[in-house]
């Protein structure tokens, strides 16, 4: 399972890097989004992979660290997702503004001279 | 039992701008005077708080000069710890001073175009102050994002094509850096199992083998995020364009934000990789030293190559950032003291220069056409008070003298604070701690600092001569008192810093000693007792005492 997850994260992140280096701002945006998905998964995995383990102690149960998933990365990833969404939305707004003001969606705000 | 109320002061620099910023958000632009004064009051409150924190940390109010605030009363490794020590207090003061100058400058025009300028400004201050105070890695990420999100809005302030273009790049670079920040934090958590900086420092010392290697990878990725913020070569290409495009009051705050990156590097690096750090000691030291030197070279070359004042200021900020990083990487406590003095002085110098640029630009275009257009776009009905009658006499003389003073500060020539800072650094470099000979890297660093100063003089002189002497059509522009006052304030501060250099150096020496003693710091944070909760408190509390009928 570890191999599958790491390969998946790696492929998503690599695609993100490739897209971020493209000249159109929408590609950059998609790249940033892919990268942030990969990073979110990465944070999640950093609490180790668990199957069938709750991150919380049910009432009345003696806490046993070996039977519980690490709750902290799950909390962190929630924060990271929210912040990532907000900043990506902001980038989208700026992108639209740039498109309207400069008339092109090139990241430099002007078409390269041929 | 309650926390002594003075301890709550540590929280004020974060909560005050948050509340004021939120309160300003629903006010419409018709209330722009109220908005300005509320915002101003908040910054004055921050100024007073930071001065109080300095006197408390330095005056023995807290043990070891460190005030620990446990957020929500969770004891240290589990909750978020805020810590005010001498270094963070002086950084808070610097932030409040720059914010005061920038805000005063916006009174006439900049604060009135764009609806949420003051709200964003307050949130920016909240993020910066939080980054100075927090001692939890993930909380630091949150404050960084608060700071960056508001700075995205502020860079766009006064919306035109140039600003949009610059902020697209600025946002993309910083979003990518934020992802690196998260990867680094996650790796560090995976290897050490903690995010509290004190706990982290204590655990790094016992890491070995694979864990240590992974931890180093995490730390390096994390450092990339801070160094992008701190504009180390080759991560700082975004900076000059952004600085030149942003409106002057915003650019002033951006200058401080590069220093936030350097501040975090200084603190974390000393904490995690100092001599007490076990097998990880000294990790990345050479990268900081030589990266810093390369940054100085890049900044100096950039200064020489540009004739736009805004870009020149940006490259000036890069040079000062590079000097700081090299000073941190050199790894000598006495040099850090001088480096901190340099940080304060150069930030104030570049900030004053950025404010001055807008006024100097008016020599060429009597009234900024760009600004007029924006005011029209935002339908600002009443025109700002006409400067006529309340203008400043001898505008040209003021501009040229202030420009000369800024040039002296940035280049580090006597008699202003830039010279004292460089003198202090040379003094420390020429006197290694254990009486050993000065290493080659020390000589190289000194040469680079001198040469970069020389280049700063050349390019500033070139700009000054072109603007003030070789400009036949120059007319004295109209300046308003509220635009001149902040520049005089910042330049005056530089004079004060020079006159009181001795006591300031003493204070910074103690601050530098604090951060070079990680053991004391770890002990202070981890042993800070949480207060007993209401359940365990004695039953005679005020809640059981109903009001008299």
Chain A hits for B167, Cβ within 8 Å: 94
B214 touches chain A (CB under 8 A): no
C-alpha–C-alpha distance, residues B6 and B69, integer Å: 11
Sign of the alpha-carbon torsion through B162, B165, B169, B170: positive
| Rounded-to-integer distance, Cα B179 and Cα A34, Å | 11
Please tell me the distance from the alpha carbon of residue B156 to that of residue B377, in angstroms, as a whole number: 14
Mean pLDDT value across chain A: 86
The residue assigned the tokens 């890695």 is: B137
A45 pLDDT above the threshold of 50: yes
B189–chain A Cβ distance below 8 A for any pair: yes
Q: What is the pLDDT, as a whole number, of residue B202?
A: 83
For this complex, say whether ipTM is above 0.90: yes
Find chain A residues with C-beta within 8 A of B215's C-beta.
none
Q: List all residues 6 or more positions away from A110 whose beta carbon is below 8 Å from its beta carbon.
A: A102, A104
Mean per-residue pLDDT, A65-90: 86
Inter-chain CB proximity B138 and A76 less than 8 Å: yes
> How distant is the Cα of A109 from the closest Cα of chain B, in angstroms?
6
Exposed, middle or buried, B430 (CB in 10 Å: 0-12/13-18/19+)? exposed
Task: For domain A2-50+70-102, give the fold.
Answer: Helix Hairpins (1.10.287)
pLDDT for B386: 44
Inspect the interface and report whether the beta carbons of B187 and A86 lie closer than 8 Å.
no
Instruction: Specify the pLDDT at position A37.
Output: 92
pLDDT at A73: 87
- List CB contacts (< 8 A) between A83 and chain B: 142, 145, 178
Confidence at residue B474, expressed as pLDDT on a 0 to 100 scale: 62
Question: Looking at residue B287, what is its pLDDT?
Answer: 87
Q: How far apart are CA B120 and CA B146, in angstroms?
A: 10
Q: B156 to chain A: which residues are within 8 Å by CB?
A: 94, 97
User: Comparing C-alpha atoms, which of B407, B388, B411 is closest to residue B481?
Assistant: B388
Chain A, 30-89: which have a CB under 8 Å from a chain B CB? 32, 35-36, 39, 42-43, 46-48, 72-73, 76, 79-80, 83-84, 86-88
Mean pLDDT by 10 residues, chain B (549 residues): 76 92 85 86 93 88 83 81 90 93 85 82 93 91 91 84 85 91 92 87 82 89 90 85 87 90 89 74 84 91 87 90 90 87 91 87 58 51 45 72 86 82 87 78 88 89 80 69 86 89 89 85 82 59 40
pLDDT for B519 equals: 82
> pLDDT at position B97, please?
93
């Amino acid at each position: 399972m570890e191999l599958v997850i790491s390969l998946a994260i790696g492929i998503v992140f690599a695609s993100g890097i490739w897209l971020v280096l493209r000249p159109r701002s929408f590609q950059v945006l998609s790249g940033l989004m892919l990268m942030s998905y990969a990073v979110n998964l990465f944070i999640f995995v950093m609490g180790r992979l668990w199957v069938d383990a709750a991150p919380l102690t049910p009432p009345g149960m003696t806490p046993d660290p070996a039977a519980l998933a690490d709750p902290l990365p799950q909390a962190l990833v929630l924060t990271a997702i929210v912040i990532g969404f907000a900043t990506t939305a902001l980038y989208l707004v700026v992108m639209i503004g740039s498109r309207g003001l400069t008339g092109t969606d090139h990241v430099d705000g002007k078409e390269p001279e041929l | 039992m309650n926390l002594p109320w003075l301890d709550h002061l540590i929280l004020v620099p974060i909560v005050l701008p948050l509340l004021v910023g939120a309160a300003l958000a629903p006010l419409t632009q018709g209330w722009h005077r109220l908005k300005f004064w509320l915002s101003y009051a908040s910054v004055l409150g921050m100024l007073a708080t930071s001065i109080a924190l300095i006197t408390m940390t330095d005056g023995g109010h807290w043990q070891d000069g460190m005030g620990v605030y446990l957020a929500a009363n969770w004891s240290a490794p589990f909750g978020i710890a805020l810590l005010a020590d001498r270094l963070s207090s002086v950084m808070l003061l610097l932030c409040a001073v720059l914010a005061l100058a920038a805000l005063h400058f916006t009174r006439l025009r900049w604060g009135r175009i764009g609806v949420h300028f003051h709200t964003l400004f307050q949130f920016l201050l909240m993020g910066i102050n939080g980054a100075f105070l927090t001692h939890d890695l993930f909380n630091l990420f949150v404050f960084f994002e608060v700071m960056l999100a508001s700075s995205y809005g502020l860079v766009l302030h006064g919306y035109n094509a140039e600003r949009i273009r610059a902020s697209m790049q600025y946002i993309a670079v910083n979003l990518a850096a934020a992802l690196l920040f998260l990867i680094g934090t996650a790796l560090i958590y995976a290897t050490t199992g903690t995010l509290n900086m004190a706990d982290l420092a204590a655990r790094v010392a016992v890491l070995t083998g694979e864990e240590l290697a992974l931890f180093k990878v995490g730390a390096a990725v994390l450092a990339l995020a801070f160094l992008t913020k701190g504009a180390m070569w080759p991560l700082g290409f975004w900076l000059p364009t952004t600085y030149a495009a942003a409106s002057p009051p915003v650019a002033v705050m951006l200058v401080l934000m590069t220093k936030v990156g350097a501040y975090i590097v200084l603190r974390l690096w000393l904490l995690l990789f100092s001599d007490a750090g076990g097998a990880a000691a000294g990790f990345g030291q050479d990268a900081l030293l030589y990266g810093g030197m390369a940054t100085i070279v890049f900044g100096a070359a950039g200064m020489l190559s540009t004739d736009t004042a805004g870009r020149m200021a940006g490259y000036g900020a890069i040079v000062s950032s590079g000097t700081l990083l090299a000073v941190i990487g050199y790894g000598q406590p006495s040099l850090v003291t001088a480096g901190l003095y340099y940080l304060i002085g150069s930030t104030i110098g570049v900030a004053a220069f950025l404010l001055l640029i807008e006024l100097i630009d008016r020599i060429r275009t009597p009234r900024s056409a760009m600004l007029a257009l924006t005011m029209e776009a935002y339908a600002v009905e009443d025109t700002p008070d006409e400067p006529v009658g309340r203008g400043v006499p001898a505008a040209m003389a003021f501009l040229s003298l202030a420009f000369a003073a800024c040039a002296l500060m940035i280049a580090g020539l006597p008699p202003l604070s830039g010279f004292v800072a460089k003198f202090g650094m040379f003094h420390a470099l020429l006197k290694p701690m254990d009486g050993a000979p000065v290493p080659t890297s020390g000589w190289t660093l000194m040469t680079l600092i001198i040469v970069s100063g020389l280049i700063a003089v050349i390019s500033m002189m070139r700009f000054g001569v072109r603007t003030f002497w070789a400009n036949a059509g120059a007319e004295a522009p109209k300046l308003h008192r509220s635009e001149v006052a902040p520049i005089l304030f910042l330049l005056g501060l530089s004079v004060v810093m020079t006159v009181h250099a001795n006591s300031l150096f003493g204070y910074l020496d103690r601050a530098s000693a604090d951060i070079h003693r990680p053991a004391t710091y770890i002990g202070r944070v981890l042993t800070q007792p949480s207060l007993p909760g209401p359940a365990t408190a004695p039953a005679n509390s005020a809640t059981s005492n109903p009001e008299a009928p």
